[in-house]
Structure 1
Amino acid sequence: MRIPIDPALAKELEAKLDSTTELITPESPKYEASLSRWSDGAVKRAGAVAYPTTFDGVSALVKFASQHSLDLAVKGGGHSTGGTSSTTGGLVIDLSRMRRVAIDTEKKLITAQGGALWEDVDDAAIEHGLATVGGTVNHTGVGGLTLGGGFGWLSGMYGMVIDNVVAAKVVVPDGRILTVSDTENSDLFWAIRGAGHNFGVTVEFTYRAYEQTTPVYFGFLTYTPDKLTAIVEALNRRFDNSDPRGGAMCVFAQPPGAPSPVVNAVVFYNGNEKSAKEYFSELFDLEPLNIAAGEMPYNQVNRQLNPLARPGGRKSLKVATLASPVRPEYAVTIFEMLMEQLKEEPDMASTFISMEFYDLAKISSIPPDATSCANRGAYRPGTIGLSWTDPAKDDAFRAWGRKIQAQCIEWIKQSDKLPSPGQALQYANYAEPDDVLNDPFGVNKQKLAELKAKYDPQCIFDKANARIEVPN
């Protein structure tokens, strides 16, 4: 049983910390700001919030929390809508003062501290003509996205984020700072690539980087809803016979002040405008209402979706998995469900739903048991991005999101694209702890449970979108 941290324990902890680690308690004028999260619904009133700046500082905090069975949470970017980076009465380790990024141009490696945001990584890398697979919103933390798998605009070329991690440093419950890689603590290295939130605090990641010296093409094509079937058909044809340099999203969202949602095709191509327009020619031929796209440096791409993901308000992210090719009638049904919901619930006007399209060959070429992430195969991840303001509607709106989740899983069960044994349909990063409809670890579940018993038998790290339980 995890316990809260009382004032006496907080004083005892503070006495053990070095001078570079700041401890914030409810009496501090900084306390309220320390609780802030991307979603107001994820805010919890911690007993203490610690801001380490060194690996040793994190180690001291983890060791103390373990010894005293404290309820422990770790905050990177703070984007968890399920509240897994927060605790009621417990200790938060906030990594936001550990954002250093180093570039090794000779070996083409990026080393980022666990509190870095994707903008830190993107901006540092592009200065050296490099890039790596990162998030599609750049104010998210590197830790959360990486430890759960990670899709991004470069996934068609280089796979998931975890496929590009070559090493990491992890603080495990007894306070040890372990270097993990294919040759050192390889079992833990395997585990953190997909289920990493369950095993410790990852204070450093080393990513493989790739040359990215030329601009890319990116932007938004907006359509009336009657074009949705044709858009999905065009995306299916494009990405079932794909070039890994491309990526796209089909996004349903209601523009500010508009009476109903519209359909957006968000397009990415790692090349020039002429090549991009040839690649997406079918989408341009559908005569969008508006085109806002052009060439830009790669590090600017992951800023473009930030307006869809502004902090504040109450939020919930959920996964909507669809088999590839996506059946247009399913997309139409989801759009109609959103349109009806927004009519009935104006408080949800900022809600969006997206379907992600990447070339799947690279991602699917890696076996589900090569890393702990079993969410690979002929499936398109989608996001149900719920957003509202009224706390009284939390349960109802989350339940509506789960309804779409369940419908998507049912469609897959009725299709000829059934998952292979051990393959997962649930992407852990788009889940919340209470709504995992399909185990995201599939064939890896038993091995993960055994490693959990080895590294964290007391389940100190029990705040994850998809939790690993210690076997009885």
Structure 2
Amino acid sequence: MTLETHRPQTGPGLPAGLTPDSVELFRAQLRGALIQPGDADYAEACQLYNAMIHKRPAMVARCADVADVIATVALARERKLPLAVRGGGHNGGGLGLVDDGLVIDLSRMRGVRVDPDARTVRVAGGAVWGDVDHATHAFGLAVPSGIISTTGVGGLTLGGGLGHLTRRFGLTIDNLISVDMVLADGRFVTANEDNHRDLFWAVRGGGGNFGVVTSFLFRANPVDTVIGGPTLWPLDRAAEVMAWYREFLPAAPEELNGFFAFITVPPAPPFPEELHLQKMCGVVWCYTGDPARADELFKPVLALKPALHGVMPMPFPMLQTAFDALYPPGHQWYWRADFVREIPDAAIERHVSFAERLPSMQSTMHLYPIDGAVHRVGPHDTAFRFRDARWSEVIVGVDPSPERAADISTWAKEYWNALHPYSAGGAYVNFMMEEGQERVQATYGDNYPRLVAVKRAYDPENLFHVNQNIQPGPVNPPSVAH
């Protein structure tokens, strides 16, 4: 009995150039699973973190090892199949899947190995940050990452990496030592400061444009117990608090990180009942310095008489998982973002007007600090260009119900349109939807021609194009040395 007889296709047919026999030959090459429409696990394999987006790939190769990745890249290249790469699957634009094409799913490749003596961490390409935090915390170490533990290591890293440890230890890419990659031509290479330096420069902020990263080697930092949590004020004090925050945080020691947020208080512990479902403004803190200095550092915060000061000592992984339950996979999401250098009073006024109209409990605006250690790396030292920014602003409309998709999207778009004139022009690629080439080029600025040159050298046919795409088009880039 043939495969097609006992498992009929119910979704997209086979892409042009593939036959049932060629698919079976490919399946036989894999140690992992090949998932197609009609399989029991196809729907699960196609679930995206952002449920606003739906895609129907023809095949999902759930790779078990590097050999599986090489075989899948070879099939996509030889048969000219649309190809997407999926790690943790958190991408706001749903770029981990592709309609009617082939998906490299790295979710089975989640190994993490810590070398406590060298303070390094080897992380497989399909791991999520919760895997890394679990492994490193046993040794009193951490790698700078994001703020949600279910975020994939690969996507966050390749876009730059912003989070609780940014001011003290830099972006995630500033702690990246090397990557192992499968290239478009099937080669397996290690890129670092000594080998394929141009490629190593490009993957530090340039996204998944240049190949499939199967392994990351990070430098880890001494982080164990942190002093963290939210401080909240009533929304009618938002203008006052935001004006204070824009001055306070850049002047604070780098050991103190805090991102500003507009929120609707969740109706659950640890928040007191009298604050449940109130719209508020706040700062989520992470202090990694000497605990004896914490009280002094937070005196100006308490002087503003917050409604809640939920700051306390906690293991770093506890802070990293604090928002996981609020933002599970499967909600409707619409993201818009910008880099920000200054927050003038006129911008604050517009922020507050949209905060008053937060359309759902999960909808929010965050300002992630970009200063401290980030500013000690030059704007041309990695592909991540906006090192002179002070914040990464992200506006997200979020709701569990598909019926609210239009409402949350409209709010986010209008909010972004109102604040964009006060931005630096580009945006953090991990916070972007599919917004077109003009936005991609604005994000990389004068680093874009060099990225195009690296793209031409390593992926001239643009096999890896389901991303915030660097197109190997007509430019006059500087020469690229391999």
TM over 0.5: yes
User: SS of the counterpart of 1:206?
Assistant: strand
The 5-angstrom pairing of residues 73-472 of structure 1 reads 73-212=84-223, 214-256=224-266, 261-271=279-289, 275-324=293-342, 326-340=343-357, 342=359, 348-357=360-369, 360-388=371-399, 391=402, 394=405, 397-412=408-423, 425-434=426-435, 437=439, 439-464=442-467, 466-472=468-474
Asked if the contact 1:157–1:244 (Cα under 8 Å) also holds between the matched residues in 2, the reply is: yes
Tell me if the contact between 1:217 and 1:272 (Cα under 8 Å) persists in the aligned partners. no
Contact 2:18/2:79 (<8 A) preserved: no
1:41 match: secondary structure: coil
Q: CA deviation at 1:48?
A: 1.1
**Structure-2 change in CA distance of 1:328 and 1:124 (3 Å):** farther
Q: CA deviation at 1:321?
A: 3.2
Tell me, yes or no, if the aligned pair for 2:125 and 2:153 is still in contact at 8 Å.
yes
| Cα distance in structure 2, aligned partners of 1:51 and 1:411 | 43
Structure 1 window deviating more from structure 2 (67-76 vs 382-391): it is: 382-391
Q: In structure 2, the residue corresponding to 1:311 is in which secondary structure?
A: coil
1:59 aligns with 2:76: no
CA distance in 2, matches of 1:6, 1:391: 33
| Structure 1: unaligned runs, 5 residues or longer | 343-347, 413-418
Tell me the TM-score normalized by structure 1: 0.89
Deviation track 1:290-310 (CA, whole Å, cap 9, x = no partner) reads 232311112222111223422
Is residue 2:38 matched to residue 1:18? no
Between 1:441-450 and 1:327-336, the stretch displaced more is: 327-336
CA contact (8 A) 1:215 1:271 kept: no
Report if the CA contact (8 A) 1:5-1:48 is conserved.
no
Query: For the residues of structure 1 that align with 2:347 and 2:322, how far apart are their CA atoms?
Result: 27
1:148 deviates by 0.5
- TM normalised by structure 2 equals 0.87
Return the alpha-carbon distance in structure 2 between the equivalents of residues 266 and 389 of structure 1. Answer: 24
**What is the CA distance between 1:125 and its match in structure 2?**
0.8
Residue type at the aligned position of 2:235: P
Quote the offset at 1:133 in angstroms.
Answer: 0.9
Residues 10 and 48 in structure 1, CA contact (< 8 A), matched pair in contact too: no
Q: Is the Cα–Cα contact under 8 Å of residues 17 and 79 in structure 2 kept in the other structure?
A: no
Residue pair 1:42, 1:83 contacting (<8 A) in 2 also: yes
Unpaired segments ≥5 residues, structure 2: 1-12, 268-275, 475-482
User: In structure 1, what residue type is equivalent to 2:367?
Assistant: M
Over 3 Å counting, the alpha-carbon distance change for 1:5 and 1:62 in structure 2 is: same
Inter-partner Cα distance in structure 2 for 1:350 and 1:58: 36
* Offset at residue 461 of structure 1 (A): 0.8
Deviations 1:429-455 (A, max 9, x none): 111122664711111111111211121
Tell me the secondary structure at the aligned position of residue 310 of structure 1. Answer: coil
2: CA distance, partners of 1:277 / 1:145: 33
Q: In the superposition, relative to structure 1, how do residues 230 and 114 fare at CA in structure 2: closer, same or farther (>3 Å)?
A: same
Q: Once structures 1 and 2 are overlaid, which stretch shifts more, 142-151 or 378-387? A: 378-387
Contact 1:234 1:282 in 2 (8 A): no
Measured against aligned partners, the alpha-carbon deviations of 1:219-277 in whole angstroms (never above 9, x if no partner) come to 11221112223322332332231211011122112234666521122111114655333
Could you list the per-position Cα deviations for residues 141-199 of structure 1 after superposition, in whole angstroms to 9, with x for gaps in the alignment?
A: 00000000111211111211111111001111111111100111111111111113111
Contact 1:216 / 1:272 at 8 angstroms: preserved in 2? Answer: no
Question: Which position in structure 1 is the counterpart of 2:6?
Answer: none
Q: Give the Cα separation in 2 of the matches to 1:14 and 1:302.
A: 42
How many residue pairs get aligned? The number is 451
Summarize the Cα distance change of 1:31–1:264 in structure 2 as closer, same or farther, 3 Å threshold: same
Aligned to 1:416: none
- How far residue 396 of structure 1 moved from its aligned partner, in angstroms, is 6.5
Shift of 1:42: 2.7
